[in-house]
Amino acid sequence: MKLIYCLFIFTAFCVLSFSLEKNAQATETVPPAYKNTAGNSTFTSPLSTSARTYQLLIHSSQLTGFVGKNLTGISWRNPANASSNWPAADVNISNYRIFLSGSVDPANRSLVRFSDNVVGPQIQVRSGSLFIPAGSYTFGSSPNAYGPEITFDIPYAYTGGNLLIELRQSGFTGTSRSQDGLSSSSTPNYGTDFSACWKSTDTATVAPTNGNFAIVQISTQQTNLNLNLTAFIEGRYNNSTNSMVSDTAKVFLHNTFSPFAVVDSAVSVLGSNGNGNFIFNEALNAVNYYIVLVHRNSIETWSSTGQSFTAGNLSYDFSGSAAQAYGSNMIQVDLSPVRYAVYSADVTRDGTVDLTDASLIDNDAFNFTAGYVLTDINGDLVVDVSDAVFADNNAFNFVGKVTP
């Protein structure tokens, strides 16, 4: 008993560790071409002793790895020519505000008003003081390591498009530190992939000045995504009670483009009302996926179109119409309320209901097989003629899976 208990604890620990790892924070450098390459210039606004307003305009082409993720913080790094760690003593910036929003194309950056560069709602993701311990920004490498993450107070859900990072910081007493950056006059793709502008105050609204682009590391967090799914299984549904015998099912999320690769999967129980919650760790918000329902002895069924998560949630109901399934590949199992279900009796899980499936059910019925077995189609834990009916009917009607 003690050994079993220890194994249980160890297994639980491994599962928890794996779950935490899958949801761990990740980081990406912008522009991505400079992840392992130092910039060709510097810029001081992010950590200047004088107050600054600073905007980074980033084209969507530089952010493909961020789509559907929460942005949770940013970091800066010393330029390659730094000769010492910074700061020499602790620094406290009394107000360090960060705003995120959509952006105009970097090529269309305005030097008339800061607000002209903002597209859509501007979200303040950080406010308050910023404490920087002595020696936080190191030197001696090319590129140097990033300094401490400047964590957002609230995450920013990035769903695609150009991104604007607006920094407003109040300055501090001490020595400014230039950050690794890219020259506005001599960097390839400055003005198309990225651009920047600034002003010597943290309350600026007009007349921004052309600026170098400070290379930035952006932190992301992929949160769990929840699919609230409603689906019924033909053989397990009872139209007298308007309910079904619950069972475990698996959902795969497939890309909506050829070859329709699997992106993620989750297992849950579809209850008597057909409802189940499926939790995904690899899928992203704002990306379309086919929802593919797989049950142990039913026909694999795809959603009619791609579906996307918004803010970590998605609801999909297969049951209201055959058209909810790709190719309308479901059967009506109830007239009131109107309900459709995935076809049952694919015992071999080969994508069709045929003589092979019927034979397996007939053999188990002949042998009085009972229990939670694949050939028990209606979920009553006994294999008999009532299970064989589903195989016979669906085989006669050439029922099989329909996929893109």
The string of DSSP letters for 244-276 reads: E--EEEEEEEEESSTT--EEEEEEEEE-TTSEE
Judge whether residue 24 has pLDDT over 60. Answer: no
Q: Choose the final residue of a domain: 221, 237, 272.
A: 221
Output 59 or 14, whichever has higher pLDDT.
59
**What is the extent of the structural domain holding 330?**
225-396
* Average pLDDT estimate for 227-252: 96
Q: Comparing C-alpha atoms, which of 191, 82, 200 is closest to residue 137?
A: 82
Q: For residues 128 and 53, what is the distance between their CA atoms, to the nearest angstrom?
A: 15
The Cα angle at residue 310 between residues 307 and 312, in degrees rounded to 5: 105
Q: For residues 89 and 264, what is the distance between their CA atoms, to the nearest angstrom?
A: 47
Judge whether residue 187 has pLDDT over 90. Answer: yes
Q: Which stretches of 222-346 are assigned E, i.e. beta strand? A: 225-230, 232-233, 237-238, 243-244, 247-255, 262-270, 275-280, 289-295, 301-302, 313-317, 331-335, 338-342
Q: How far is CA 83 from CA 11, 78, 87, 139, 145, in A?
A: 49, 9, 12, 6, 14
* Average pLDDT estimate for 97-120: 97
Whether residue 367 is found in the same domain as residue 308: yes
Burial label for 194, CB within 10 Å (0-12, 13-18, 19+), is buried
Whether residue 217 is found in the same domain as residue 277: no
Q: For residues 268 and 22, what is the distance between their CA atoms, to the nearest angstrom?
A: 19
Q: For residues 109 and 56, what is the distance between their CA atoms, to the nearest angstrom?
A: 10
**Structure tokens given for 29:** 């450098």
Using pLDDT thresholds of 50, 70 and 90, give the confidence band for residue 25. low
Whether residue 70 is found in the same domain as residue 202: yes
Has residue 4 been placed in a domain? no
Q: Choose the final residue of a domain: 199, 221, 243.
A: 221
* Average pLDDT estimate for 299-309: 97
Judge whether residue 154 has pLDDT over 50. Answer: yes
- CATH number of the domain that residue 161 is part of: 2.60.120
Q: For 85-99, give the DSSP string.
A: -B-SS-EEES-EEEE
- Secondary structure letter of residue 370 according to DSSP: B
Amino acid at 85: N
Has residue 403 been placed in a domain? no
Contact 234, 298 (CB under 8 A): yes
Mean pLDDT taken over the chain: 92
Judge whether residue 201 has pLDDT over 70. Answer: yes
Q: Which of 177-186, 254-263, 276-285 has the weakest average pLDDT?
A: 276-285
* Residue 65: predicted pLDDT: 86
Has residue 10 been placed in a domain? no
